Amino acid sequence: MRFFGNDYNKMELAGAFGDLGTLIPFIVGYITLNKMDPLGILVAFGIFKIFVGLYFRTPVPVQPMKAIGGMAIAHAGSITPGMIWGSGIFTGLFWLLMGLTGAITWIEKITTKPVVRGIMLGLGLSFLVEGLSLMRGTPWIAIGGVIITLLLLNSKRFPAMLCLLAYGIVVAFIQKPELIGELSNLSVRFRLPELTFGRISWKELLSGFVILGLPQAPLTLGNAIIATVSENNTYFPDRKVTAKTISIDHGVMNLMSTFIGGIPMCHGAGGMAGHIRFGARTGGALVILGIIILLVGLFLSDSVTLLLQVFPRPILGVILFFAGVELALVVKDIRLKKQNLFVLLITAGTAMWNMGVAYLAGLLLYYGLQRRWFKV
């Protein structure tokens, strides 16, 4: 494959970890608060990261669905694994239907650049805020991470991400010296995921559809499909993707993930920005991370929470912060026409609150201004 050629180097390895800032917190939440078995979660992520890397040949991320994950983790006492799987079934069927019928292609055609860039800017700013929040607990760790990243951001000899992760591991051992001893007693046991057939009640299925699945749909449309397609085709015009393909991919990915005990998954402009910011330029980065996650899931699923302790929250915050900066920079190609700028800023501000509302508001503003329904 192309990404195993001359340009496949340690920058791809570094870029592989550019999405950890969003991936790890959600996985930890699902495992510790929702009491889900990490085996199905990690195996599903591993398989689809490998598949996406091989198929799209660009660093299209595979990450947890934010609205579903946020709701499930925040209300862990009332949200069951069956409801989470139910939302995955709804999401899978919905986006598979949108892709196969061509409905997503029509939506993509009416979506204008100021709206897309506004969503990406809003998401980038949200990443900045969330990254700063993760750094706040122990700022001295975060400051060290930021300095390392700034000094090595464009270094190919010493990739910033690899040095940042090494710094984080050292800090984790300094903060908790007993972690070294605990890691020496890792439980290594080969397990295969259990199918979820018969483990979801009709009540959980319906609740998952309504409570978790429906609120996720507009966020997936704006960020995981429209914005991801735009970002991919801007950075990699020789390896373009279509909204139809991404939509169908979402459908298949979520149905299969749900059936092996995984969680609802999506792509996302923010995750791609993180991979790109730290050096990824091909799907090889996804393959590398996918293989690592798959092996951890199959052999070390009993020790996942222990392994994740080597990634301090401030380091995840630094990763998220720089991913946000990269994503926010997409506005540089917008012509500074007052109407476009107005739509972009309104969309971006609204996107920091609700991605679906931002998308609809941006379209209404853009076409309203074009038809002179109102002026700015």
Residues 287-305 as b/e (b if ≥16 CB within 10 A, e otherwise) read bbbbeebbebbbebbebbe
pLDDT by residue (tens digit) across 165-174? Answer: 999 999 999 9
Q: Say what percent of the chain tops pLDDT 90.
A: 68
Looking at residues 125-139, what average pLDDT do you find? 91
Q: Where are the domains of the chain?
A: 2-369
Which residues touch 313 (CB under 8 Å, ≥6 apart)? 134, 135, 137, 138
The better pLDDT of the pair 146, 351 is held by 146
pLDDT tens digits, 236-266: 999 999 999 999 999 999 999 999 999 999 9
Q: For the residues 68-83, what does the mean pLDDT come to?
A: 91
Q: Which residues, listed in sequence order, are joined to residue 64 by a DSSP beta bridge?
A: 265
| Average pLDDT of every residue of the chain | 90
Mean pLDDT to the nearest integer, 66-74: 89
pLDDT at residue 273 greater than cutoff 60: yes
Using DSSP, state whether 129 is helix, strand or coil.
helix
Torsion sign over Cα 83, 18, 98, 101: negative
Contact status, residue 364 vs residue 375, Cβ threshold 8 Å: no
Inter-residue contact 196 to 351 (CB < 8 Å): no
Residue 354: strand, helix, or coil: coil
265 DSSP β-pair partners: 64
Where do we find the tokens 């994740």? 308
Give tens-digit pLDDT for 301-322: 999 989 999 999 999 999 999 9
Using CA atoms of 172, 174, 175, 181 in order, give the dihedral in degrees to the nearest 10: 80
* Predicted pLDDT of residue 336: 64
pLDDT surpasses 60 at 144: yes
Q: What is the dihedral angle through the alpha carbons of 253, 258, 264, 265, rounded to the nearest 10 degrees?
A: -30
- Burial of 234 (C-beta count, 10 Å sphere; 0-12/13-18/19+): middle
- CA proximity to 31, closest of 222, 250, 373, 296: 296
> What pLDDT band is residue 3 in, cutting at 50, 70 and 90?
very low
Tens-digit pLDDT profile for residues 4-59: 444 457 899 999 999 998 899 999 999 999 999 999 999 999 999 999 999 999 99
At 334 the pLDDT is 64
Residue type, 37: D
Whose structure tokens read 């091989």? 54
